[in-house]
Amino acid sequence: MYARILVPLDGSALAETALPWAKVLARQYGGTLCLVRASGERDAADAVTYLARVAEGLRACGLVVETATPRGSAGEAVVGEAGRYEADLIVMTTHGRRGPGRWLLGSVTDEVLHHTPRPVLLVRGEQLGRSAGPRRVVVPLDGSSLAEQAVEQARALAGPGGELLLYQALAPAMPIVPEVGAGELWQEVLDDAHAEADAYLARVAERLRDGGLSVRTATEYGVPSQRIAEYARAERADLIVLSSHGRAGMARWLLGSVADELVRAAPVPVLLLRPLYAVATESVGEANAEPLALSRD
C-alpha cells in the first residue's frame, strides 16, 4: 500500500519526529523512504550532507532510502517531489497550538495539503514515535461515502489482530424556540438521530467483521474535533484516519474546521486521506460517488 513514502525534513529535530512513523510503515509495507529537503544555491551542499547522514542511519536499520534536494520553497519542493516520486504517502511533522516552529499548520503543511492529492500523515512534534505499526485505529465517519474511504486504509494499517474504532460525533444542537413540552420532543429528535447514527455504524462494522476484523463503534454528541480527540485518548488509540471532507463535496470536514482542529487536539497522529487539493479539483458528481464497497479478503 505504501511502496513510496516521502518524508520532508528541514534539518531540525522537530521535523525528524516524523521519521519513526515513516520507518514503521516502510518496514510494514516493504516501502522505500524518500527524504526531501528544499534547498537553494547557498545551502545546497549542506542539504545534501544532512540528508546523506540521516539516510545512512536509516539504511543501517535495513531500510531502502533515497534522497532529494529540490530547489524552491519548502511547500513547493515537497509537493513537486511527491509528484515526481509518485509517493503513496507523505509523512511530515506539524505543530500544535504551543510555541513557534518552522513546520506550522497554515504554512508548509497547509501548502502541501492544498496542492497534493496524496495521503498525508501529520505527526505533531510532541507525539511519541513508534517501534511497531498502529494496532488500534480510530475512523471518524459522518455517514458519507467520502468519509468511508478512510475505512479501507485504516483496515490495512491495523492489520491482522488490530482493531478499528468507528466513531461518529454528532454536532450539538438546541431547539430554536423553547416551548412548553418542547424539551421532550427535542429529546426524541436527539434520540432518533443517535439511534440512526448507531445503526449506520453497526452496518459498516458488520461488513468489516465479516472479513475477520475486530471492530467497535461509538456515537456521541459534542463538538466533533473535541469528541474525536477525547475518544482517541480514552481508548488509547495509535492513529486517527479520516477523509478531510465529507458530504457531497460541501467540505463538511475541511482543514480549517474539524480536520484542522483535530490535528491540533488529537493525542495521536492523524492521517488525512483527502487533502484540500481534492476539494478544489473534484466535481460534485465525483463527490457524490457510491458508498465504498468493503472487500472481504
Segment 4-58, tens digit of pLDDT? 999 999 898 888 999 999 999 999 999 999 999 998 878 889 999 999 999 999 9
Pairing mode, if any, of strands 120-124 and 270-272? antiparallel
If pLDDT is split at 50, 70 and 90, which confidence band does 243 have? confident
Q: What is the structure's pLDDT at 130?
A: 65
Torsion angle, CA of 21/25/26/30, rounded to 10 degrees?
A: 170
Q: Does this model's pTM top 0.85?
A: no
Place of cell 513537486: 80
Q: Which of 165-174, 197-206, 229-238 has the lowest mean pLDDT?
A: 165-174
Q: What is the pLDDT of residues 182-219, one digit of tens each?
A: 567 777 888 888 899 999 999 999 988 887 789 999 99
Phi, psi of 4 (to 5 degrees): -130, 115
Residue with cell 467483521: 209
Give the chain's domains with CATH numbers. 4-124 (3.40.50.620), 136-268+277-287 (3.40.50.620)
- Rounded to whole angstroms, how far apart are CA atoms 108 and 85? 19
Average pLDDT over residues 223-234: 93
Please say if the pLDDT value at position 284 is more than 80: no
Predicted confidence (pLDDT) at residue 117 exceeds the cutoff of 50: yes
Please give the pLDDT value at position 72. 85
Count other C-beta atoms under 10 Å from residue 164's C-beta: 24
Percent of all residues in the chain with a pLDDT value above 90, rounded to a whole number: 43
Burial category of 124 from C-beta neighbours within 10 Å (exposed 0-12, middle 13-18, buried 19 and up): buried
Q: Are 231 and 218 a contacting pair, CB within 8 Å?
A: yes
